[in-house]
Chain A
Amino acid sequence: MPYCPRCGVELDYHIKNCPLCQFPIPEIPEENNHINVEKFPRPENKYFEEILKVKNQIFFTLSILILSAVLVLMTINSIIETHPLAINYSIISVIAAWFYILILLGYLSNLYYSILGIGIVTGCLTLALDSVDGKMNWFFTYALPIIILVLLVIYLFLYLYNRSKLLNQFIFIPSYLFIAVALLSVGLECILDFQANQSIHLSWSLIVFIILVSLAVLLLGLYYKLPEMIKEKIKRKLHI
């Protein structure tokens, strides 16, 4: 019988590593009277199979709906030629909705790719909407910078969340949300102000920024408490 030299426990034949400490176990030939019966099947993961089934059903149904909507819109467009622009806007939006559903159903397994995917689809959607009338008015000046800003803020939030998800979520999630919204407001005002006046003078976003960042610092400060040195100093200066 094979044994793990580290844990001292008996193991099954043909096991490569000790299940407890991962120590490599050498292959030992079976004894003559030993009958090896496998205890477990090589397990399949039921989750992906079952979830994929449900997801495919939803996606297939919605795809048919979207395809019908596009066909109806194109038919209307070919019969009534009064509002071609409006119809084109609708067709673009419906096609974008199809891509959004594809991503939101989680076909891209990684959350970071899904968020990037939503950003790219939104970029393409705004680009297409802006170019319907043949002129580019707002895509490069407003839509693209705002999309990039939002993506960056979301990635920053996720990075911070992943770093602290084992800690107290009632403290960290609100704090990081406050910081994210504060940064978003400043970024938005910068973009809007720059495009409107070709210069940056922060006003409302500064107020939002100061309030939200103060709240976040207060929450984190309460959680981490003050360092001993500062506490000592306050005690010394303010003792009654």
Chain B
Amino acid sequence: MKQKRAWYKLDNAGKLYPSITSTRVSTVFRISASLYNPVDPEILQKALNNIIGRFPYFKVNLKRGFFWYYFEYTEKYPQVQKETYYPCMFMLYKNKNSFPFRVLYFNNRISVEFSHSITDGMGGIHFLKSLLIEYFRLLGIQPEFQEKISKEEAEDAFKRYYVKNIPKPAKLKKAFHFPFKLNAKGEYYIITGIIPVNMLLEEAKKYSASLTQFLLALYFDTIQEFIRLHPCKLLPVVINLPVNLRNIFPSKTMRNFFISLTPQIDFRLGSYSFEEIINYIRNYMAIALNKKHISQHIHLNVKREKTIFIRLIPLFLKNLMMPALYNKFAERNYTTGLSNLGLITLPKSIENLVERFEVYPPPSMGNIIKVTTISYKDKIYISFGSLTKNTEIEKIFFRKIRKMNIPVKIETNRE
């Protein structure tokens, strides 16, 4: 008798991504770890084979249902690949037998690229950490901890924390967008700034701000300076700030569990000093980053998915409508995005074998420049992912940090 195959519904946030994926909007993000020695692809493959069973909800193929996509468990194993393309390139994961993630290696670097349909940054980091621990275990370095598998890992935490009958959050309006020309299809540029995290934290402390708040203020100030130097049609500047909800609503889910906060400053009102921007952000965070406000966002997301009229629309029609709706209700209302994945730690035994972590945002046509940051040991890695050749924003941002007398090292995949 044929064995029953496990299948998973896509989580609330993940449901959107397969429908809006295109060759340009890959919805793929990358998390990578650079080692001090070249990566051995055979050991990496063995490590991947050993750990993938621990993540059954990733060992899947995307399939088409009549109303929604779903993930079906597969007996096949993903293969590691040598990196040859631009980062975060589109995945044809709707094709048969292809996984919604890839594991890449190049010289000293191991990268995992995930389709956002399957997990978010935190899930990706957990997977990469497990892969690294197993890789080094196969090289003879035993980690000093054993990890417990939780049943919660495969849950859709949005559904668990959905509260019925509460009002929706306020609607956003069209935001300012960078007037840059798009680059050729298939190209994606990354500029990473490597900065001593302590120096940046000290600077943030001067304004009584957290690191995320400080970076956010710096980014707003960068955009303000860009607008001053290049006068153009103004609209409010809105930065999409994804927030990991696992700390606020306890869950061990490895699937998507984040919502986007949207701090906004309208520079039509006049010029803002850096103190004013920081002050606004601190107050905004106090208002927005609490259970009640976030429940409203979870409510809106889950309610949209639960609406019977939306559920009854056949998948092919959803695929036709979704890109336009996503633009109308999401990307059109953001200027750009900034995502801070926080400080990464590894078990002591392998900590000194990994030089750094980096994370690259998914390319997006609505927000052609996005920023992601990650800290490891004493450095913070700030990566700008860009679909344009213009580097004005990156230039202003990093020069601002240099002006604070903080050293910045720049790396890029641009020619």
Contact = CB atoms under 8 A, between A and B. Distances in A.
A12 interface: yes
B414 A19 contact: yes
B84 interface: yes
B409 A10 contact: yes
A139 to B, nearest CB: 39
A9 B89 contact: no
A43 B398 contact: no
Contacts of A39: 34, 106-107, 109, 411, 413
A112 B328 CA distance: 30
A4 B34 CA distance: 25
Nearest to A20: B395
Interface in B63-115: 82-87, 89-90, 92, 106-109
A166 interface: yes
Interface residues of A, number: 27
A189 B193 CA distance: 62
Contacts, number: 92
Contacts of A10: 407-410
B391 A19 contact: yes
A9 B410 contact: yes
Contact of B187 (A7, A11, A12, A45): A45
A61 to B, nearest CB: 18
Given A9-B398, A21-B391, A46 B409 contact: no
Given A20-B191, A21-B391, A41-B83, A47 B107 contact: no
A46 B90 contact: yes
Interface of A is mostly: loop
A41 B106 contact: yes
B84 A41 contact: yes
Q: Most A CB atoms within 10 A — which of B87, B106, B191?
A: B106
A47 B399 CA distance: 33
A224 interface: no
B412 interface: yes
B86 A43 contact: yes
Contacts of A37: 107-108
Contacts of A9: 193, 398, 402, 408-410
30 contacts: A7-B398, A7-B410, A8-B399, A9-B410, A10-B408, A18-B410, A19-B191, A20-B191, A20-B391, A20-B395, A22-B391, A38-B107, A39-B106, A39-B107, A40-B87, A40-B106, A40-B190, A41-B82, A43-B84, A44-B84, A45-B86, A45-B187, A46-B86, A46-B89, A47-B23, A48-B185, A48-B186, A51-B23, A166-B179, A167-B233
Interface of A: 4, 7-12, 18-22, 37-41, 43-48, 50-51, 166-167
Given A38-B107, A47-B89, 19 more contacts: A7-B398, A7-B402, A9-B398, A9-B409, A10-B408, A19-B191, A19-B410, A20-B191, A39-B413, A40-B190, A43-B86, A43-B413, A45-B86, A45-B186, A46-B85, A46-B86, A47-B23, A47-B185, A47-B187
